[in-house]
C-alpha cells in the first residue's frame, strides 16, 4: 500500500444530490479550470463543466462547436482542482442525441477519461430514452430543460422559454420524462417562476434553476458571469464581483510599470553571488 496520505474527503454523489430534493438549496457553479475549481470547491455542492466553456473560454458564438475532446480536457482539470464537490461534465452537441449506443459510448469515455461523477444532457424531445439507457448502464445523468443552448440553431437565438401554453406543457413533459428516465436532477433554464415551481412540484428529483426563480431546489450560474468578467450578462445573472474591472486595473498598472521601467524592481530580480 502506498505511504501517501489516503484521501479522506468523500465527493458528493448523484444519490447525495438527489436526496436534497426540497431541502437546503443545492449550490452549483460552472468550472472549467483547476485553479478556479479549487476555489469553488469549498463553497459548492456541484461543479458543472458546462459546454458554456466554448463561449466563456474559447470565444465561440454558441455551444454548437464544442467537442467531446474539449469537454474531457476541461473535465480533467476540474477533477484535479476539486476534492469534495460532485463534478458533472456536459455532453456536447452531437455526442448523445443520435442513438442510445452513441450516447453510451461518448458518456462512458467522458466518465473514464475525466473520473467525473455524472454527465449532463439537454433533455429535448427524443433524449429521454437515451437517459434511461445511460442510467441503466451505470452512468448518472443530469437533464437540462427550458432554454436549451444547444438548440440555438433551431430556436434562432437564446430566448426565455415557456411563453405559450403549448411550450409550457412541452417543457413540463420533458422535465417529467427526464426524471422518469432516471435523471438524478434537472437543470431548468430561462423559464418564468410559475413554470419553474410547477416543474419542481411535478418531479421527485431536484430542479437546479438558472434564470428560473428561487422556486427551484438549487441554483447554478456561469461563474465568469457572476464574477463580472463580461460587459453583458443575461438579466438573471447577479454580479458578485467585478473581475473585468479588477483585471483591467491590474493589467493597466503592469503596462504602466513596464513602460516607466518600474517593473521589475530590486525585489523581483536575481543577483549574482559575489566572487
What residues are labeled active site? Answer: 189
* Continuous segment of H or E residues that includes residue 186: strand 185-189
Judge residue 49's burial from the number of C-beta atoms within 10 Å of its C-beta, 0-12 exposed, 13-18 middle, 19 or more buried.
Answer: buried
Q: How many helices (H) and strands (E) does the chain have?
A: 11, 8
Closest residue to ligand KIV: CB criterion: 50
Judge contact between 26 and 208, C-beta under 8 A.
yes
Is the CB of 51 or the CB of 217 nearer to ligand KIV?
51
x-or-dash pattern for ligand KIV, window 59-88, by CB under 6 A? ------------------------------
Backbone φ/ψ region at 69: left (φ over 0), alpha (ψ -120 to 50), beta: alpha
Site mask for ligand KIV (CB under 6 A), range 99-118, x = bound: --------------------
Segment 128 to 157, residues that bind ligand KIV, using CB under 6 A: 144
Closest residue by Cα to residue 140 from 117, 122, 113, 123: 117
Among positions 51, 132, 217, 224, the unique one binding ligand KIV when judged by CB under 6 A: 51
Q: Is 91 in the site for ligand KIV (CB under 6 A)?
A: no
The distance of closest approach from Cβ of residue 158 to ligand KIV in the complex, given in angstroms and rounded to an integer, is 11
Q: Does 121 bind ligand KIV (CB under 6 A)?
A: no
C-alpha cell at 203: 418531479
Site map (CB under 6 A) of ligand KIV, residues 11-50, x = contact: -------------------x-----------------x-x
Q: Which residue lies nearer to ligand KIV by CB, 223 or 249?
A: 223
Nearest to ligand KIV of 144, 168 (CB atom): 144
d(CA 230, CA 252): 18
| Positions 153 through 182 that interact with ligand KIV (CB under 6 A) | none
Question: To the nearest whole angstrom, how small is the minimum distance from the Cβ of residue 274 to ligand KIV?
Answer: 56
Distance in Å, CB of 150 to ligand KIV, minimum? 9
Rounded Cα distance between 252 and 113, Å, is: 40
Pairing of strands 86-90, 185-189: unpaired
Task: Assign residue 165 a region (left: φ > 0; alpha: ψ between -120 and 50; beta: otherwise).
Answer: alpha
Closest contact distance (angstroms) between CB of 60 and ligand KIV is 12
Cell numbers at residue 103, please?
450516447
Q: Residue 178: CB partners within 8 Å, gap ≥ 6? A: 123, 127, 128, 131, 143, 145, 186, 203
Which of the residues 192 through 251 are near ligand KIV (CB under 6 A)?
210, 220, 222
Residue 169 to residue 129: CA distance in whole angstroms? 19
Q: Which one of 74, 81, 87, 90 is in contact with ligand KIV (CB under 6 A)?
A: 90
Neighbours of 230 (CB within 10 A): 15
Q: Judged by CB under 6 A, how many residues of this single chain contact ligand KIV?
A: 11
Enumerate binding residues for ligand KIV (CB under 6 A). Answer: 30, 48, 50-52, 90, 144, 187, 210, 220, 222
Amino acid at each position: 500500500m502506498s505511504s501517501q496520505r489516503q484521501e479522506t474527503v468523500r465527493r458528493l454523489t448523484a444519490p447525495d444530490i438527489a436526496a436534497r430534493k426540497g431541502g437546503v438549496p443545492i449550490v452549483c457553479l460552472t468550472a472549467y479550470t483547476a485553479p478556479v475549481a479549487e476555489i469553488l470547491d469549498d463553497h459548492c455542492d456541484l461543479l458543472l463543466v458546462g459546454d458554456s466553456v466554448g463561449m466563456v473560454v474559447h470565444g465561440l458564438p454558441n455551444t454548437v462547436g464544442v467537442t467531446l475532446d474539449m469537454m474531457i480536457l476541461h473535465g480533467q482539470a476540474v477533477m484535479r482542482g476539486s476534492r469534495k464537490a460532485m463534478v458533472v461534465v456536459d455532453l456536447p452537441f452531437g455526442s448523445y442525441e443520435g442513438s442510445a449506443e452513441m450516447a453510451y459510448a461518448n458518456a462512458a469515455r467522458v466518465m473514464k477519461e475525466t473520473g467525473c461523477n455524472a454527465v449532463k444532457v439537454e433533455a429535448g424531445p427524443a433524449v429521454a430514452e437515451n437517459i434511461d439507457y445511460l442510467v441503466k448502464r451505470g452512468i448518472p445523468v443530469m437533464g437540462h430543460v427550458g432554454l436549451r443552448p444547444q438548440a440555438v440553431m433551431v430556436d434562432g437565438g437564446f430566448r426565455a422559454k415557456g411563453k405559450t401554453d403549448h411550450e409550457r406543457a412541452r417543457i413540463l413533459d420533458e422535465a417529467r420524462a427526464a426524471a422518469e428516465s432516471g435523471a438524478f436532477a434537472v437543470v431548468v433554464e430561462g423559464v418564468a417562476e410559475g413554470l419553474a415551481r410547477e416543474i419542481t412540484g411535478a418531479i421527485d428529483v431536484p430542479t437546479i434553476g438558472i434564470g428560473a426563480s428561487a422556486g427551484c431546489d438549487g441554483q447554478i450560474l456561469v461563474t465568469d458571469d457572476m464574477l463580472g468578467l463580461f460587459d453583458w450578462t443575461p438579466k438573471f445573472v447577479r454580479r458578485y464581483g467585478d473581475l473585468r474591472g479588477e483585471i483591467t486595473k491590474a493589467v493597466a498598472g503592469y503596462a504602466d510599470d513596464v513602460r516607466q521601467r518600474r517593473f521589475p524592481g530590486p525585489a523581483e530580480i536575481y543577483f549574482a553571488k559575489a566572487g
